[in-house]
Chain A
Amino acid sequence: MNSTFLDRLLHNWLTLRKPVSRLQAVGLGVACILLCLTGWWLLTLGEYESRIVGPLTLPSPAETFGKFSELWNDFALTRNVLVTLRRVSIGFALALVVGIPIGVTAGCFPRVHAFLSPLIMIGRNVPLAAVLGLMIFIFGSGEKNKVMFIFVASVAFVISDAARAIMDVSARYIDTAYTLGASRWQTISKVLVPLAAPTIFSACRQMFGLAFGYIMLAESIKIADEVGGLGYQIQIFQRRGFREHIYLIILVIPFVALVIDQVLAGIQRQLFPHVYGGDGVLRTLVRVILIPWENLKSLLFHKHLASLPPAATDEGPK
């Protein structure tokens, strides 16, 4: 009888790839957090001397969260988060502006891809610590080296992911576009890029998470008058021995990352309703913005259907 209950439990809970309701998914996530907190609480229970893990290694939850107001007020948490975000956003945006057009070109034309592949290879395998040092040599201390660090660290990945996404679009779409009279440029802009866009967006969303990690590395190197940032704060707390603050920041970063990721996911859903469902508000917006541009082109380049070779019926007999 015991085994049948277990069987049923296993069957219900561990069915292969069985979908989970949203409520249960959130509940399971909360359960995990509670379990970790309980573990943390048990490890750091009691007086300093009687704890399983000493206070120098791991402060108790109460001690840690007690420092939150200090972190928020005295150490200007929000300002530091925004400073970090600004750096990573500018650097990453630069990588997108440069990387996506190059990647799309490489994806469309295998010769361009072959030409660029050594650079992409180097870019993807470049040691980040070395890049950081170089950026400081080239751009000096201050904002520029951090922004450029993010740019260099991510641009090769943007290029190769964009190229891969374009190459993965089935050739039959190109054939179809051609037989419908699309030019090469129209095939790229109206077919290849839009079909690859959801994949490119997803890849970039993941890469932004990585870039957010890289920026901490760049910020943790202090050269001259620094102007804040989460990485810089961690550096300061480390030097002063503020363990509670470091743990708090470790907890804050995933939270910020989660918020950003959710915002990006929302944009993605509204931009690509054919993949994610929904109304596609942003897609509609993009199309409305493009209407004047399209009208202008219609005005300038409109070719009438009648200019196509006429059918046999339209000609005089013999």
Chain B
Amino acid sequence: MSQPPAAANANETTGSLASGAASAPRSSIATVITGGLTPPRSPVGLRPHVVEFRNVTKTYNSGKSDQFTAIRDVTFVVEDVADKGEFVCVLGPSGCGKSTILRLIAGLEPQHPATNGDVLILGQSVVGPGSDRGMVFQDYTSFDHRTVLENVTFGLECLHMPRKQRDELGREWIQKMGLNVTTDADKFPHELSGGMRQRVAIARTLILKPRIILMDEPFGALDPLTRLNMQDLLVKLWKEVQATVFFITHSIEEAVFLGDRVYLMSNSPGTILEELKIEPATSSANEMQRQPKFLEAVYYIRDKITKLESNQ
């Protein structure tokens, strides 16, 4: 099955709906922006880019026999869209350096600092972690010794917000996450299911109103149905908080459903092979993900990955 060069269709915004052909020339909801790297553009007006990577390389144990390059020459820009953050999904096989990119943005060691290149957040170099870049991990990282409410208000406690005020805010967010304020607030994490734990983890990040939300396969350990529910919840909340989201996943469906933009990454040393623009989701995860248009985009990306992999 040969496909025409993707870049040829770069400027089309609407395509034919599923025509029944097994290999549609391009997907109807996914649009290829570049066949490779986004060239860094200068900021529009006064607004600096939310995230900018300039030829970022991370090499561990440089010069030793076990030298390992996690990502090489990664360059991309996430622009600050007025009144709306962007939802960026990073898609790639295990061990391709997806997490490295995320942890470089977060400023977490040992990925931070980068061996080469610049990692800029709103035009500033990353110097270390901070609550302006909240992160949700795949592993359950609820603080086991704290109740749900105490977990959700952890960041506010670190800001020394008075207890009454932060508990009020915490309860509000517990409610927003679809948890029960009266029965769940005083539970400990070990009494919760995986999905509920991730709700707590998301709540305690969003309560701090981060500018950028970093999510490292947050739904990777959840069962399929819970996963769909969490995707719906995330879309809803994201519209409310209007932050830029970086979402790592190896589920193509998840990336296509959630993302405004999808970065396809190659295997180690990781580098961004292609950038795709995706139309926003119009219905719930369960409905959306069975539409032919949606599936077409998924298959398109799957073929793309297969092709990119075999070219290496």
Query: A interface vs B, CB < 8 Å?
Result: 170, 172-173, 175-183, 186, 190-191, 194-195, 197, 272-275, 291, 294-295, 297-298, 300-305, 308-309, 311-313, 315, 317-318
Contact A311–B209 (Cβ < 8 Å):
yes
**CB < 8 Å: which of B83, B106, B154, B159 contacts A190?**
B154
Nearest neighbor of A303 in chain B, beta-carbon distance? B159
Highest count of chain B CB atoms <10 Å: which of A176, A302, A308, A313: A176
Contact B162–A298 (Cβ < 8 Å):
yes
Contact B132–A178 (Cβ < 8 Å):
no
Expressed in whole angstroms, the Cα–Cα distance for A97 and B134 within the complex equals 36
Residues of B within 8 A of A298 (CB): 160-163
**CB < 8 Å: which of B80, B131, B143, B188 contacts A173?**
B143
Give B61-82 as 1s and 0s: 1 = Cβ < 8 Å from A's Cβ atoms: 0000000000000000000111
Nearest neighbor of B50 in chain A, beta-carbon distance? A312
Contact B155–A180 (Cβ < 8 Å):
yes
Question: A172-B141, A194-B143, A275-B144 given. 16 additional CB < 8 A pairs?
Answer: A175-B135, A176-B143, A178-B106, A178-B129, A179-B214, A180-B131, A180-B154, A182-B158, A191-B143, A195-B143, A291-B163, A300-B160, A305-B161, A305-B209, A311-B211, A315-B47
26 CB-based A-B contacts, threshold 8 Å: A176-B143, A178-B129, A179-B205, A180-B131, A180-B134, A180-B155, A180-B205, A181-B208, A182-B155, A183-B158, A190-B158, A191-B143, A273-B188, A294-B163, A300-B160, A302-B160, A302-B162, A308-B132, A308-B209, A311-B243, A312-B82, A312-B83, A313-B82, A313-B83, A313-B84, A315-B47
Q: How far is the CB of A298 from chain B (nearest CB, A)?
A: 4
Given contacts A194-B145, A274-B144, A311-B85, contact A318 B139 (CB under 8 A): no
Nearest neighbor of B190 in chain A, beta-carbon distance? A274
Nearest neighbor of B124 in chain A, beta-carbon distance? A309
- Near A by CB (< 8 A), chain B positions 202-239 give 204-205, 208-209, 211, 214
Expressed in whole angstroms, the Cα–Cα distance for A289 and B276 within the complex equals 55
Q: Taking chain B's interface residues, is the majority helix, strand, or loop, or is none over half, making it mixed? A: loop
Contact B108–A178 (Cβ < 8 Å):
yes
Q: How far is the CB of A44 from chain B (nearest CB, A)?
A: 52
Expressed in whole angstroms, the Cα–Cα distance for A318 and B47 within the complex equals 6
Highest count of chain B CB atoms <10 Å: which of A179, A181, A190, A308: A179
Contact A180–B204 (Cβ < 8 Å):
yes
Q: Is B196 an interface residue (CB 8 A)?
A: no
Q: How far is the CB of B204 from chain A (nearest CB, A)?
A: 6
Nearest neighbor of B131 in chain A, beta-carbon distance? A181
Q: How far is the CB of A82 from chain B (nearest CB, A)?
A: 35
Q: Is B156 an interface residue (CB 8 A)?
A: yes
Residues of B within 8 A of A313 (CB): 82-84, 242
Residues of B within 8 A of A309 (CB): 122, 132, 211
Expressed in whole angstroms, the Cα–Cα distance for A304 and B169 within the complex equals 13
Given contacts A173-B141, A318-B45, contact A312 B242 (CB under 8 A): yes
Q: How far is the CB of A311 from chain B (nearest CB, A)?
A: 6
Contact A179–B159 (Cβ < 8 Å):
no
Nearest neighbor of A296 in chain B, beta-carbon distance? B160
Q: How far is the CB of B115 from chain A (nearest CB, A)?
A: 20
Expressed in whole angstroms, the Cα–Cα distance for A298 and B143 within the complex equals 22
**CB < 8 Å: which of B144, B160, B190, B242 contacts A195?**
B144
Residues of B within 8 A of A178 (CB): 106, 108, 128-130
Highest count of chain B CB atoms <10 Å: which of A195, A308, A311, A317: A311
Q: Is B1 an interface residue (CB 8 A)?
A: no
Q: How far is the CB of A195 from chain B (nearest CB, A)?
A: 6
Q: How far is the CB of A206 from chain B (nearest CB, A)?
A: 21
Nearest neighbor of A186 in chain B, beta-carbon distance? B158
Q: How far is the CB of B190 from chain A (nearest CB, A)?
A: 6
Contact B160–A301 (Cβ < 8 Å):
yes
Nearest neighbor of B157 in chain A, beta-carbon distance? A190
Expressed in whole angstroms, the Cα–Cα distance for A273 and B146 within the complex equals 10
- Near A by CB (< 8 A), chain B positions 174-207 give 188-190, 204-205
Q: How far is the CB of B252 from chain A (nearest CB, A)?
A: 26
Q: Is B299 an interface residue (CB 8 A)?
A: no
- Identify the 10 closest CB pairs spanning chains A and B, nearest first: A181-B131, A178-B129, A179-B135, A318-B45, A180-B155, A301-B160, A274-B188, A176-B141, A298-B162, A194-B145
Residues of A within 8 A of B132 (CB): 308-309
Residues of B within 8 A of A170 (CB): 139
Expressed in whole angstroms, the Cα–Cα distance for A199 and B228 within the complex equals 38
Residues of B within 8 A of A272 (CB): 145
Residues of B within 8 A of A303 (CB): 159-160
